[in-house]
Structure formats: structure tokens, C-alpha cells
Amino acid sequence: MKILKGSRILVVGGSSGMGLALARHLLDSEMEVIIAGRDKGKLLSATETLGSSSRLSTFSVDVTREDEVASLFEKLEPLDHIATTAADIRGAYELLPSLDMAAAQRAIESKVFGPLLLAKYGAPKLREGGSLTFTSGVAAYRPAARGTVVATINAGLEGLVRALAVELAPLRVNAVSPGWVDTPIWEFVAVDRKAETLDAMAQRLPVGRIGRPQDIADAIAFVMGNGFTTGTVLHVEGGHRLV
């Protein structure tokens, strides 16, 4: 089952990185796209980047706040699919002695609590054949020092996917698990060593390069459109789990 032309799709975190690439991919495929995010400046910038379109709209929402998520879905017409790439991991990539627990909590809320709220309030808005797609990550399989919080979050999110696929059936629930992708998030993780860090990983990976946002957009579109896929984690990581 391919995504039907004109489908209405909510992309949370669609104002930058992988989410922005997904929004562009869907618009190019003649879908109706709603981008949601908490930063109004980024939403405006995304609209300018994607260009004026009657099939594009934006909403400001913090997906970790239940009242805001509930209000968002009250405003929206029925949807065909929901996807989220949103993550707030600022300050969460630290060795344990330096770990700020408030930053860890923000990260957990953005990648676990947020998807749970999207499922709670979004599932009733989904049409027959609809789906939810979340974004986990290779850290659940290849954890590293400083990555304890993110590894924990991604592993927990994948458990949530399997549970929701059972509870919300016949709606489908899946996750895409990216490897290292060149997105703005690396400005927080590697700071001024971003280029050096990504190049070193590219040399290790079997595919010989770092991921691009479009790689993940393609994968999310695939699981949205494949009607026989649910409770599944699709790994798009260039062979990272093998090295």
C-alpha cells in the first residue's frame, strides 16, 4: 500500500533535519503536510525553505505537554499518518559524573513521553489504514560513553512501538532507527569537532558515508506506505550495527 496522493500527514519535528527532509519528500509527492514544533522561528524558516504551498501548514506545540498535544489534535482534521523526529538531547550526551538530570529528563520526555502523547491523542484522528512512525536510533544497539541516556531512550521507545502496535491495531505503529546522520543535532553532540567526528565514522561504515536526512525521509515514507508493516523497527544506519 503506497501513500495515496493527497494524504494528510502530520510531521512533528518537521522544521529541521530529518523531519524537514520528510516534509519536503511528502510535499514533492503531492501530500498535504502539517509541520508541528515548539520553535515558532524554526517553523517560519521551514515554511520559507519549503516554499509557499496550499498543502503546507504549521502549528506550534510542545509534544511533552499533554494540554498542548490535546489542543493540537482538537484543531486538526482527520489524518492519514503521523510521524515524529522530534528530540531534545541538549545536555544529555555526558559522562555520568557530569550528567545534568534535568537535561536527561527533557530528552526522555521528548522521545518517549512525546510519542506516547501523540499516540494517545493522535490515534483517534487517524483514518482507516493510518499509521504512527517514531524515530529511535542506533545508540540502542551501539551505545558509547556519554550516550547512556540516549541509548536508554531509544531502547524504551522501541518497546513502546511494539506495545502500541498491539493496542492500537489495526492502526500501524513503527519506528525508523537512523545511524549517524548529518543534521544540526551534531552541533550539540560534537560541538566544534562535528566534521572530524562524522568523517571518522564515515570511514568505519560499510557504506563509506554518513547518513543524509533524505535517507531517513525515504525510510519513514516506506513504513507509512507499507500496509503489512507494524510493530517493526526499520534500521537505516549504513551498517553501523555491524562495526
- Count how many domains the chain has: 1
Cα dihedral 166, 172, 178, 184 in deg (nearest 10): -120
Cell numbers of 207, please? 557504506
Residue 55: burial class (beta carbons within 10 Å; 0-12, 13-18, 19+)? middle
3-state SS assignment for residue 173: strand
The answer to whether position 29 is within a domain reads: yes
Residue 203 has a pLDDT of 96
Residue 192 has a pLDDT of 77
Report the share of the chain in percent with pLDDT over 70. Answer: 98
As a whole number of angstroms, the distance between CA 72 and CA 62 comes to: 10
What's the chain's average pLDDT? 95
As a whole number of angstroms, the distance between CA 227 and CA 97 comes to: 45
* Residues facing residue 181 across a β-bridge: 211
| 36-68: pLDDT as tens digits | 999 999 999 999 999 989 999 999 999 999 999
The answer to whether position 240 is within a domain reads: no
The answer to whether position 242 is within a domain reads: no
The answer to whether position 196 is within a domain reads: no
| 86-118: pLDDT as tens digits | 999 888 989 999 999 999 999 999 999 999 999
Q: By residue range, what is the domain housing residue 126?
A: 8-185+211-235
Residue 2 has a pLDDT of 75
The answer to whether position 241 is within a domain reads: no
As a whole number of angstroms, the distance between CA 137 and CA 48 comes to: 29
The residues, ordered by sequence, that sit 6+ positions from 222 with a Cβ below 8 Å of its Cβ are 234
As a whole number of angstroms, the distance between CA 160 and CA 134 comes to: 10
User: pLDDT band for position 184 (50/70/90)?
Assistant: confident
Task: Give the least confident one: 18-32, 58-72, 174-188.
Answer: 174-188
The answer to whether position 155 is within a domain reads: yes
As a whole number of angstroms, the distance between CA 27 and CA 50 comes to: 9
Q: Contact, 87 vs 135, CB < 8 A?
A: yes
The answer to whether position 202 is within a domain reads: no
3-state secondary structure 46-62: HHHHHCCCCCEEEEECC
The residues, ordered by sequence, that sit 6+ positions from 36 with a Cβ below 8 Å of its Cβ are 10, 11, 12, 13, 14, 58, 59, 60, 61, 63, 72
The answer to whether position 206 is within a domain reads: no
Nearest to 20 by CA among 54, 53, 43: 43
- The CATH number covering residue 108 comes to 3.40.50.720
